[in-house]
Every structure is written in structure tokens, then in C-alpha cells.
């Protein structure tokens, strides 16, 4: 689980830097911190331009993809901003299935990441 937290936090940092080119206001809540709030929720990333929140991004790891977490995604989709999920590539189909079960497949976008290590 410790390694998953490391991957999660690294992804939040990486996405924050990468998305700051497209969004003028990128706020993060790394490692359980509650610095940036959006309508009573503390998502991993809050993406905005010109004072408007356009998207909420959640970074998930293998261990955080659960039915309970899908219920949280459903709550977030009702807040008025687009939900973007970043999940491990190998879990993308399972996440899409959870979104369908929650009735929010049309209200969320799913991106994926993969950590690839090549040894000699």
C-alpha cells in the first residue's frame, strides 16, 4: 500500500505540472491533505480557468478502485464539473464497468497510466 501511495502522489504531482499548461488554475490535494476544496469535496486535482472550475480529477491505484469509491465518484459528478479519472491501464475496463453500474459512464472520462521498467 505504501508503494501505491507513492505512485498516487507522484501522479498527482506529474499531472499538476502537465495540466498547468492547459489550465490557468490547478489546485491539488496530495497525500490526504485538505488544502483545496470544491463544494465540500477534496479531489486530487481541481482544474480551472478564469475563476471557473472546469474539471475534477481523481487519481486511483489498484487498491483504491472499489464499489465504495465508485459511490464517491457518483457524488462528484453531481457537483457541476467534469470528472476525470486516472487509473492504472490494467484496471481501465474494471473502472468503466463500475461507472456503468453507478449510472455515470456518460458523466466521467477515464484516462490511464502505466509504469514501465525495462531491465537489461
CB contact set of 17 (below 8 Å; sequence gap of 6+): none
C-alpha span between 76 and 60 (Å, rounded):
14
Label residue 107 exposed, middle or buried (CB < 10 Å: 0-12, 13-18, 19+).
middle
C-alpha span between 75 and 81 (Å, rounded):
11
Show me where the domains of the chain are located: 2-113
For the chain, give the percent of residues with pLDDT over 70.
98
Tell me the per-residue pLDDT of 51-74, one tens digit each, with 9 for 90 and over: 899 999 999 999 999 999 999 999
Whether the pLDDT of residue 1 is over 60: the answer is no
Task: Give the pLDDT score at 30.
Answer: 79
The model's pTM is: 0.90
C-alpha span between 84 and 72 (Å, rounded):
13
**Best CA proximity match to 86, nearest among 17, 34, 8, 25:** 8
Amino acid at each position: 500500500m505504501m508503494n501505491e501511495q507513492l505512485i498516487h502522489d507522484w501522479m498527482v504531482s506529474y499531472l499538476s505540472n502537465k495540466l498547468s499548461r492547459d489550465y490557468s488554475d490547478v489546485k491539488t490535494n496530495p497525500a490526504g491533505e485538505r488544502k483545496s476544496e470544491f463544494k465540500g469535496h477534496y479531489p486530487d486535482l481541481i482544474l480551472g480557468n478564469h475563476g471557473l472550475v472546469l474539471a475534477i480529477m481523481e487519481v486511483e491505484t489498484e487498491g483504491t478502485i472499489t464499489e465504495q469509491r465508485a459511490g464517491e465518484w457518483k457524488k462528484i459528478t453531481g457537483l457541476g464539473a467534469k470528472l476525470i479519472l486516472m487509473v492504472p491501464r490494467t484496471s481501465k475496463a474494471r473502472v468503466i464497468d463500475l461507472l456503468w453500474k453507478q449510472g455515470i459512464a456518460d458523466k466521467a472520462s477515464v484516462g490511464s497510466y502505466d509504469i514501465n521498467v525495462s531491465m537489461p
